[in-house]
Structure formats: C-alpha cells, structure tokens
Amino acid sequence: MYGSASTHDIPAKATTGLENEDPILLAEFEARIARGEKIEPTDWMPQLYRKQLTRMIEQHAHSEIIGSLPEGTWITRAPGFRRKMAQMAKVQDEVGHAQLLYSAAETLGKTREQMLSDLVNGKSKYSNVFNYPTPTWADSNVISWLIDAGAIVNQMANAKGSYGPYCRALDRICAEEAFHLKYGHDAVVHMATGTPVQRKMMQEALNRWWPAIMTFFGPSDKMSVHTEILMRWKVKMATNDACRQQFLDMYVPKIWEIGLTLPDANLRKNEDGVWEFTEPDWEDFKRVINGDGPCNAERIAVRRAAEENGAWVRRALLQPQARYVRPLA
C-alpha cells in the first residue's frame, strides 16, 4: 500500500552525479532500458539510479509494514467470521509485501536490518496516510478499499518499471492485492447499503479519510530535469497527477453509486474529462509527514516495540558462523 506521497523527488539543485559516470556504460544502460529490457542486480547502473530505487523500494516496504497497523487496529474486533479471517489475511499480506519489498531493496546493497533500523530511528519515510488513525471499523474498511485502490494504481504503473527484482515483487503483490480491493469494496458496500448505524459510520469514516486520500499520490508534479531522468530510466512511471486522475476516474463513481458523498463541493469531472477538486492542504501534509501527525509517534513506537520484544528471539537463533548474503534477484 503505497503512493508517491512519501517519495520526494530529488531537489532540483542537487547534482545527478551523472558527469562522473562512465559514458559508454551509461549509454548501454540507457539503451537497455529503452529497448524495454529490465535491469538485474549485477548489471552496471548509475549511482543515482541505485540510490533513488533503494529509497523508493525501501519507503514502499516501510509503507507496507507500517500500513499493517491501522487495519491491525481492528483485527481483534472484525465482525463475524468472514470479516475476521479476511482482516487477518489482509494484514498478513501487508507484512508479506514488506518482506518482498525489503528483499528487492536488499539486492541493491542495503541490508534489511539497516532499513528496519532506519525506520524505527525515524530516518526513513513511509506513506503519509498511515499517520492518521482508524477510530472505527469503517475507517479500516475505507483503507482496505480506497487506499489499496490507490496503491494498486501506483503499483501497476511501477510494475512496468525497469528494475527486475522490484517488478518481480510487484507482480506478486498486485496479484495478492486483487483480494484486498474486492474485500474492501465488499465491506464498504455492506456498510453503505446497510442499516442507518452502518451508513452513518461509513459516511463519517469516508469524510475523515478523503483529505488524506487526495494526498496519497503526492503533490502535483513539478517536472524538474531530474524527474525526467527518473522517468527515462523507468524508475518513476507515472506522474502524481496522472495517478490521481486515474484513481478518481475509477473510484469516485463507485463511491457515489452506493449513496456515499465526498466532502469536497468542488469535486467534479469537467467537459475535458479531467477531475477538478479542491487543492489538498499541502502545508498540513508537510507538517504531518515531518512527524507532527496524529499517529506518527505511535506507529514508530509500535515498530520499535516489535523489534525490541523480538530481539531475544533473533539473538537466540543467530549462528555464529552464519553470514548474511544479499538475495540474488
């Protein structure tokens, strides 16, 4: 579950370092990507490519492991066997996706434990939507449906990217997400078409989550030179705006058809087929992503507790002669 909202593009002023790369190797690398071939871990790659991909896949992985918490909030309270088992399976999948993504990032040279360490020390970012709480069961359903829907838009695009291990992980993740999307939709539909208590609960949850959902794909794109490079290298596959438009096009009608409303009077599709909406509060977004959201502290504290409480298990299992080797693919 991941949008572009946590990936800050390289600052326009930052150097790409490309002038230091071997021009022949760089040309071969770019030609391979232009031919539609994937890059594999032992291929030559520019430092900037390695760095950006590592950061992006790592943040995606963090978003999965942290993203398991807001829905995990309702794991012990899901109503009825069907929901209870599905909620467990969904939260489990998010942890599974984190495992797959950390593995893909490891092939670029950063160890999983270093990434987990950076997460609990607040050195890495994850998708900002998970810094908001899920005060009711309906909030959890909104995430299951709409945040996952947004993530799928993003992941389907990224699965066509240039890095082999990330594509392999995303192919698997997208196959698993199909269940999440249908499960989330099913739960939201049951509530929205259900009793007055359910309808009210769902509408309130949607009202709470809509502003965060609108920030999910990140701020409007400013096409810097470096974004162009990342798109040429197929690291970034679609602009934030394109993803947001695609999401609105696919899901707003589905939200409206079950009698729910969205808390944005300006939301409409114009004559050109483009969705118009009230610009999200990006200042608030910045404030939350930088640590001042309602759940930032809790999310990190919980991950820390999981790490610390499990430390004795990992200590006990370690074989002194065992050596970490980064995964191959």
Residues 153-212 close enough to bind another protein by CB under 8 A: 164, 167-169, 172, 175-176, 178-179, 181-183, 185-187, 189-195, 197-198, 201
Examine residue 232 and tell whether it contacts another protein (CB under 8 A).
no
Examine residue 301 and tell whether it contacts another protein (CB under 8 A).
yes
DSSP string covering 46-104, please?
A: -HHHHHHHHHHHHHHHHHHHHHHHHHHTTTTT-SSHHHHHHHHHHHHHHHHHHHHHHHH
Please say which residue, 65 or 238, places its beta carbon nearer to another protein: 65
Among residues 86, 105, 157, 213, the one that binds another protein under rule CB under 8 A:
86
Give the separation between CA 224 and CA 9, rounded to whole angstroms: 9
Give the separation between CA 248 and CA 255, rounded to whole angstroms: 10
Examine residue 32 and tell whether it contacts another protein (CB under 8 A).
yes
Minimum distance from residue 135 beta carbon to another protein (Å): 5
Task: Give the count of alpha carbons within 13 A of 57, CB side only.
Answer: 33
Among residues 133, 204, 264, 277, the one that binds another protein under rule CB under 8 A:
133
DSSP string covering 101-128, please?
A: HHHHHHTTT--HHHHHHHHHTT-S---G
Give the separation between CA 312 and CA 206, rounded to whole angstroms: 41
Within 87-126, the residues that bind another protein by CB under 8 A are 88-96, 98-100, 102-103, 106, 111-114, 116-117, 120-122
Minimum distance from residue 147 beta carbon to another protein (Å): 16
Judged by CB under 8 A, which stretch of 69-77, 219-227, 244-252, 284-292 contacts another protein? 69-77
Within 249-268, the residues that bind another protein by CB under 8 A are 257-259
Cβ neighbours of 2 (radius 10 Å): 30
DSSP string covering 212-230, please?
A: HHHHTT-SPP---HHHHHH
Examine residue 27 and tell whether it contacts another protein (CB under 8 A).
no
Minimum distance from residue 8 beta carbon to another protein (Å): 22
